[in-house]
Structure 1
Amino acid sequence: MAQSSGSDSMINTLRDTIVSMVRRDGPDLSARQLGVYLTCYLQDGPHTVRGLAADLNVSKPAITRALDRLEDLRLVKRVRDPMDGRSVLICRTPDGKTSLRELAAIVNEVGAPQDREAEAPVRKARVRRMDERLRRAG
């Protein structure tokens, strides 16, 4: 099955982004860990293990393992819900916000259109949306 040039471009951008992430200093995140991390930072919370499991359609133990790793890397932290002491909230951290900015820079660099002026407005809109998400996360 042939892919359209748009699909080819997106999949190449994904590949180039992942390769850039792997080459940078520091630990790598698995696809599941990255999915949990991005969900916590790009979607409004509050986030819980149960909510993340439902949102990502994976088991609660899988979310817990991903959060263990993310917490070890100081990308998220767990905090007791002050309104319901039985519940644990997943919170953003300064290190996690910095990491998201770095990831956004990688994506923007890799996905930068080269000699494709027609794509410039689309890219600018994506950058504005990412900036807005970073401000909300900030």
Structure 2
Amino acid sequence: MTDRKLALEAWESLFRAQHELFTEMLSDFEHSDITQAEYDVLLTVTRSPDMTARLRDITSNMLISQPSVSRLVDRMVTRGLVAKCADPDDGRGALIRATDEGAKAFRALATVHGRSIADRMSRLDDDELRALRDLAEKLRAR
């Protein structure tokens, strides 16, 4: 049986580490034309085949509600970062595609943000990084 006190200590440490790293990395977005939330949308979209993802897949990768994601995507459409069309396989769904402008803005920020992440994670060696990745995936498994 899991030691409850140890489980709570591990959770608190994980939560605080994530929060502190997340807060530090907000500076990556200060001089960018895209927000962190827009970056998260573009991350999912640009990693998808043909830089096109279902709205429901974007929503499942974000930590905000579906209506909030829909409003965010609509603002991104207005800004020319993504295009939105009906999903032919799901009458109620939508497909979101990165525009050339959106993909370019994402790549520029991803370079900066990727360096920032690597720098902050360099406190751990490669074996520790692999262990952290594997443990996080194990916690996420259902």
Shift of residue 107, structure 1, vs aligned partner: 1.9
- Pairing partner for 1:3 from 9, 13, 25: 13
Which residue number corresponds to residue 37 of structure 1?
42
Larger strand share, 1 or 2: 2
Which residue number corresponds to residue 21 of structure 1?
29
- Pairing partner for 2:105 from 99, 113, 120: 99
Cα 1:58–1:109 change in 2 (3 A) is closer
Q: Is the 8 A contact 1:113 1:120 kept in 2?
A: no
4+ residue runs of structure 1 moved beyond 6 angstroms? 120-123
Cα 1:11–1:109 change in 2 (3 A) is farther
Deviations 1:41-77 (A, max 9, x none): 2344752334434554754422210101221222211
Q: Is the 8 A contact 2:42 2:98 kept in 1?
A: no
Q: Is the 8 A contact 1:16 1:110 kept in 2?
A: no
- Pairing partner for 2:85 from 60, 79, 92: 79
Over alpha carbons, which structure has the higher Rg? 2
Equivalent-residue separation in structure 2 for 1:20 and 1:43 (angstroms) = 24
Equivalent-residue separation in structure 1 for 2:128 and 2:101 (angstroms) = 29
TM-score by length of 1: 0.55
- Pairing partner for 2:54 from 32, 48, 64: 48
Q: Is the 8 A contact 2:52 2:98 kept in 1?
A: no
TM-score by length of 2: 0.53
Equivalent-residue separation in structure 1 for 2:108 and 2:125 (angstroms) = 22
- Point out where structure 2 has 5 or more consecutive residues left out of the alignment: 1-8, 130-142
Give the share of equivalent positions with the same residue, in percent.
Answer: 19
Shift of residue 118, structure 1, vs aligned partner: 7.7
Which residue number corresponds to residue 111 of structure 1?
117
